[in-house]
Amino acid sequence: MKHSELRREVCLLNRRIVDSGLSMLTWGNASIVDRASGCFGIKPSGVAYDDLTEDSIVVLSIETGDKIEGPLRPSSDTPTHLELYRSIPGLGAIVHTHSPWATIWAQARMEIPCFGTTHADHFFGPIPVTREMHPDEIRNDYEHNTGRVIIEKFSSDGINPLEVPAVLVASHGPFVWGKNGNEALDNAVVLEQVAKMALQTGRLNPDAGPLSEALLSKHFLRKHGKSAYYGQPDEQ
């Protein structure tokens, strides 16, 4: 992919965060990786979404993290994106927001339970929340360590990040991903909705339990994986 095409796609993806009601002001950011050329594009730091242009998108090397193109400073969350791209080969795009309902769960430092099939259609289990970061992790290389605690959570709990493509960073907010920009944004939109529904479910019925393993597996696997049968085949 040419850098100009990558920057165009990243600009569009970031604008769609606002169009989808997931962010305001300069909150959040999105990136897309081009593994064939070893680089990724990301929103510049502190730039309002309405002011974004293709030329303002920053392109960086996956290997070194150095800037390749772009006149502006990249998002302050760039080291987090870089850590995720380096650690999870299947990632194609990352969306980070401070969307209200998902952020409420992150601030409460609680995972989002899988109460129903709407959740199970997109996430194969609860949305995990990271541990709180230690003071030294915050003081030194904070954004890089944010990525590390995300990877730590998935690794320690044996969660497949391609089956649960979202995480809540404790006291911070959600990071969501997908194979491409469209999928990452869709997952961010769904995450916000299931966060809202889960909170209201718990209020309505504090004794509500998680979805059964049978129903969870049925709904996730009918849309994902080798035996998926939801929707239409890629080739007619």
- Out of 19, 55, 141, 230, pick the active-site residue: 230
Q: Catalytic residue among 19, 34, 121, 136, which?
A: 121
121 is catalytic: yes
**Residue type at 129?**
V
Distance CA 93, CA 27 (A): 17
Site of tokens 């969350």? 77
- Report whether 17 contacts 23 (CB < 8 A): yes
Q: How far apart are CA 226 and CA 228, in angstroms?
A: 6
Strand partners, 41: 32, 59
* Catalytic-residue membership of 230: yes
- N residues, the chain: 236
Which is nearest to 41 in space by CA: 83, 70, 16?
Answer: 70
Phi, psi of 31 (to 5 degrees): -140, 155
How far CA 212 is from CA of 117, 124, 125, 190, 195, in Å, comes to 10, 12, 10, 20, 19
Residue 12: both structure tokens together = 């569009």
Active site residues: 121, 230
